[in-house]
Structure 1
């Protein structure tokens, strides 16, 4: 075998071999390799062209050596391979072909099978006839059981396919109803021509009036749904005269009785009626209330309405960020315990156990506590038992975006009544894996929850609308062209915005805290301009001078990447100088005052936290970098502040324990330090009254989301 050839060295490696020993001696004993290498790199950068020439010459000479030895090694390897082949030909006559090799393998396998059959026949000949008969009977029974399982599996697959076929038919009918309704709502749709030609939807008429599917719920079989009207009118008001479409619709004046924990606020009851009206029209919707107004409860209320008034127990699917999973389970169990909710999350083994227990054919059998699941006959409007799948032991499945992607095939087997997506701006990229996954689910209705439906541009809004109404908002290019707000004509731009509002009005509702949450204390924002410490200034200047060529050079893709890297390094410098290797003096106490004095931001925050502690406040601190969280932990320990922490690496159990520990009554925790992306979405930390953004996100909406972790319903302090 040919010997390996040592790789060619660079000029810097020759310089390192010659000078590293001298540098370690100069820096003294105990010097770390990182410090020595930093000094070596600095001297190499400061070395003149004439000084480098000797090492460059060594590099060129060593490269030639590498090329010579590589060529010789290749020649030796080729010679060895040729010799081995010649020896094989001399020994066996010729090298066997691949086809001949396959034939020999097949012959050998057939010979082995024949030998096994002969051996089996010999064993059976020696066996007692009764024992042989019993053995054959058991084998035939197992074969029959296998065939029966296969038959059941195929039958279940056919049932699922039939269920999906019915859902497709129902969706087609709803699409016609949607287009008809939207065209009546706004003439803009006819101008946009976003939808194709749809034939007019044919609906049953009763006494010359259209009767919504919701009004027909009481005539079905199975569990009798609660009546959608009453003589006293205490629960529901009916429009007896009919609307402009001569159509009756449902209007609730009281929340469903299965909502137990408290009372819906007026604006939350309004949104429930809005969602009911959407369902009557076959529309999907966006619940875009400002963060902190209770979108979770409002979405639970529409599921409770389906359960109580329509006798529909799902199945419903709720997709949420990992950080809000336990909050959703708590809210479902607290507000509507009648709905049986399961959490689909965990390790691969945990998920497989959940699938076996709840999603398989055997585990889906009815538990005797509830009547069978009800579905609507789209032809008659009546409620019927769902015989296409076995009745379920659950009503609502709550899972995360990541599990949706991982377990897509399992979730695709269901026909979901409601698909609810929390923090739905996750769908702003229609090409993302999660967006493609949920688009493949069979759903009757889709409800998106987001406090920030528009973060960067109108294309993101189109992505949400396309997910809700793909038959209407089918063309991104056409949408972008129609609503091009980058024009100079102020009047035309104003008209476009007005038209956009008209389009969104039927299927998006948004309320602000200032308008509906009158009892919520006001939010005061304070911007503190902070100077850098002497160490930060020196490091900042050094970073700029090190890459001055990238900053001053021509703009290229490579140069642009270098500039972005410089910006990131400067952000780290502003966050804390100790984020850079070799900057912190390791001879000092790790928890000494230098940790605060060498960072302008931390010095100001130190004074601020002392004041907040004195007045009894509790604080959330958000940052972009987990390494800054490490420094903040050292600071908390140094000052004796009790705290909790969440970042992207915090597992589910620890995350929930930290939130519960911070929110519990009488908690001694003063601060909660979080990374903006991991802890800034969907969690309730209203027991805190102050939010500090240690550094800003590139997307200002992420900062707003972080602020509203504490400025939400339930907050008592301004």
Structure 2
């Protein structure tokens, strides 16, 4: 995965859209469309439309599900399978199931497809999923669907292997009702895919459709006749309202217009930094009401009784080696500040993020020849802290998910874990298919499983059920907070029986603090759009790193903190002791704890920033 894949779409929140001559839609136009469609469809969950239709109270026949499998009430009643079935039966066009991660979107979807197949045995369903999740979908059908209820075929493999599958399907030697296909293969083999009439199209991790000009988005729109489109995503709003509009226009063009969208939602509901908080919140509340009939969002706290999840932020000091390297990067790349070119500035930002993680991410820093030893963790403030944390967690028999975005950082962590003799397994973007399944099994295998599951945030943050773990550690944070939310949800989901502790490591006085602050603001905006609660938006939905000035401001943050001469080992001891003491207290869901001394230091840094410190 390239750096562009990792960062560009999370920093520049401008989706690729085209300018056209379509007449601008007003807020009244949109609301009238929704109202008329709700009356036609009799969707009684529409807000403010005045529909008072009796709910279907649909039931999924028990013989469709494997013996012992039962749906929870929220999964089948008016807010679940019944909702999907109603929109399908009334030919609305599509819907977005946006339940929070861990609420069982997969089993709800399988139940919906089983129900449709029972009523129309000749129907066929196309499930489009990332390659990393195709085995998971096959496993879930086997786990939940009654034997012989549907025939599921995985359309994957090499070009030759897929050719053999096509021959078997054409000769009817391989009958199927559900075809599982990857993002890549649906585009490569679209002529074959288009040769079938699909009753329903399911797109998993559907936020991948956020760019209306992407190959996946445009390819799937060529399916004729258009099937019912069900989009599955726990993060329908990641950066801006243009992305949400892209999903809505794809799934329900009758209301939100044909793709590509024209930015109507951002224009009508996005607001600006000049708007008051009251104005912004009202606009997002109106948007929430508008999209609610077509996008279903439930949160764990409203439908499940799960053990609580608590987030602790530990601001870690940098070692002298890290500070020296940090200063060197800023000094060496002064030309980037002079030119103001965004690409050059982003490169500086990336180098500083690497420095915050570990100096060995740079060539020539690690002593040669490589010898395992204490230097692995003593060179990095974060790893120094992690060493103490893992010692406590191992003694207390916790199980840990350890996330990082950088594969080279995973290499260093893997060497460190081996040096400390901690049992560990690893999953990153290079691990596919059966290897991925084996890694998960190795970790989840009861009390004999590995102590640490080492994962890349993007590859390991979706489609996995890892409730064996009760501790999630983010070694570094994503620009896109939804990625971290998805990753944490691997442990905090249906099946979890223990309180979950989420620990986030941030290098104090560094660019990481600003990245996290921006990510937290972005998350509040997403919550305000899709949540059914009274979430407030803290800033404009369009807030992002759009200009070189924004990036320079981020790079300059915390420069004065590099002069701090506090002893790293003593600071780490205080932080770990505080974490251990706090973890014995009552756990409060989603609480964020900050060490008081670090908070005071941050205030000092802020005061110095106001003095216009120059580099």
TM-score, reference length from structure 1: 0.60
The answer on 1:564 being equivalent to 2:346 is: yes
3-state SS in 2 of match to 1:415:
coil
Q: Do the aligned partners of residues 641 and 470 (structure 1) sit closer, same or farther apart at CA in structure 2, a change above 3 Å counting?
A: same
CA shift at 1:554, angstroms? 4.8
The residue aligned with 1:318 is: 127
Give 1:401's match in structure 2, choosing from 183, 187, 211: 183
Number of residue pairs aligned between Structure 1 and Structure 2: 456
Give 1:681's match in structure 2, choosing from 439, 442, 462: 462
Give 1:646's match in structure 2, choosing from 427, 440, 443: 427
The residue aligned with 1:707 is: 488
- Asked if structure 1 preserves the Cα contact closer than 8 Å seen for 2:242 and 2:263, the reply is no
3-state SS in 1 of match to 2:315:
coil
**RCO higher in structure (CA 8 A, sep ≥6):** 2
Q: Do the aligned partners of residues 600 and 301 (structure 1) sit closer, same or farther apart at CA in structure 2, a change above 3 Å counting?
A: same
The answer on 1:344 being equivalent to 2:133 is: no
3-state SS in 2 of match to 1:529:
strand
- Asked if structure 2 preserves the Cα contact closer than 8 Å seen for 1:313 and 1:339, the reply is no
CA shift at 1:593, angstroms? 0.9
Give 2:73's match in structure 1, choosing from 261, 266, 276: 266
CA shift at 1:470, angstroms? 2.0
Q: Do the aligned partners of residues 689 and 504 (structure 1) sit closer, same or farther apart at CA in structure 2, a change above 3 Å counting?
A: same
CA shift at 1:244, angstroms? 8.4
CA shift at 1:497, angstroms? 2.5
The residue aligned with 1:431 is: 213
* 1:481-492 equivalent positions in 2, closer than 5 A: 481-486=267-272, 488=275, 492=279
- Asked if structure 1 preserves the Cα contact closer than 8 Å seen for 2:42 and 2:51, the reply is no
The residue aligned with 2:235 is: 452
- Asked if structure 1 preserves the Cα contact closer than 8 Å seen for 2:31 and 2:290, the reply is no
2:487 & 2:326 partners in 1: Cα distance?
Answer: 28
3-state SS in 1 of match to 2:387:
helix
CA shift at 1:194, angstroms? 7.0
3-state SS in 2 of match to 1:527:
strand
- Asked if structure 2 preserves the Cα contact closer than 8 Å seen for 1:314 and 1:417, the reply is yes
CA shift at 1:666, angstroms? 3.6
3-state SS in 2 of match to 1:452:
coil
- Asked if structure 1 preserves the Cα contact closer than 8 Å seen for 2:95 and 2:252, the reply is no
2:51 & 2:384 partners in 1: Cα distance?
Answer: 65
The residue aligned with 1:612 is: 393
* 1:599-638 equivalent positions in 2, closer than 5 A: 599-638=380-419
1:460 & 1:643 partners in 2: Cα distance?
Answer: 37
Q: Which has the larger radius of gyration?
A: 1
Q: Do the aligned partners of residues 689 and 506 (structure 1) sit closer, same or farther apart at CA in structure 2, a change above 3 Å counting?
A: same
The answer on 1:583 being equivalent to 2:365 is: yes
1:691 & 1:489 partners in 2: Cα distance?
Answer: 36
Partner deviation per Cα, 1:291-330 (whole Å, 9 max, x = no partner): 000000000110111123x133531011112222111111
2:375 & 2:237 partners in 1: Cα distance?
Answer: 43
The residue aligned with 2:85 is: 276
3-state SS in 2 of match to 1:471:
helix
Give 1:251's match in structure 2, choosing from 57, 62, 78: 57
Q: Do the aligned partners of residues 282 and 256 (structure 1) sit closer, same or farther apart at CA in structure 2, a change above 3 Å counting?
A: farther
1:430 & 1:191 partners in 2: Cα distance?
Answer: 20
The answer on 1:463 being equivalent to 2:246 is: yes
Q: Do the aligned partners of residues 253 and 648 (structure 1) sit closer, same or farther apart at CA in structure 2, a change above 3 Å counting?
A: closer
1:189 & 1:332 partners in 2: Cα distance?
Answer: 43
Partner deviation per Cα, 1:489-514 (whole Å, 9 max, x = no partner): 55554443333223212111111101
- Asked if structure 1 preserves the Cα contact closer than 8 Å seen for 2:98 and 2:296, the reply is yes
The answer on 1:422 being equivalent to 2:208 is: no
3-state SS in 1 of match to 2:448:
coil
- Asked if structure 2 preserves the Cα contact closer than 8 Å seen for 1:249 and 1:280, the reply is no
CA shift at 1:247, angstroms? 7.8
Partner deviation per Cα, 1:519-559 (whole Å, 9 max, x = no partner): x11111010111111211111111111112322x253xxx3
3-state SS in 1 of match to 2:426:
strand
1:598 & 1:490 partners in 2: Cα distance?
Answer: 44
- Asked if structure 2 preserves the Cα contact closer than 8 Å seen for 1:645 and 1:658, the reply is yes
The residue aligned with 2:193 is: 411
The answer on 1:327 being equivalent to 2:110 is: no
Partner deviation per Cα, 1:620-662 (whole Å, 9 max, x = no partner): 1111111111111111111111111111111322111111222
Partner deviation per Cα, 1:200-250 (whole Å, 9 max, x = no partner): 99xxxxxxxx999xxxxxxxxxxxxxxxxxxxxxxxxxxxxxx98898874
The residue aligned with 2:304 is: 517
TM-score, reference length from structure 2: 0.70
The residue aligned with 1:356 is: 167
- Asked if structure 2 preserves the Cα contact closer than 8 Å seen for 1:321 and 1:682, the reply is no
2:417 & 2:30 partners in 1: Cα distance?
Answer: 60
2:205 & 2:394 partners in 1: Cα distance?
Answer: 33
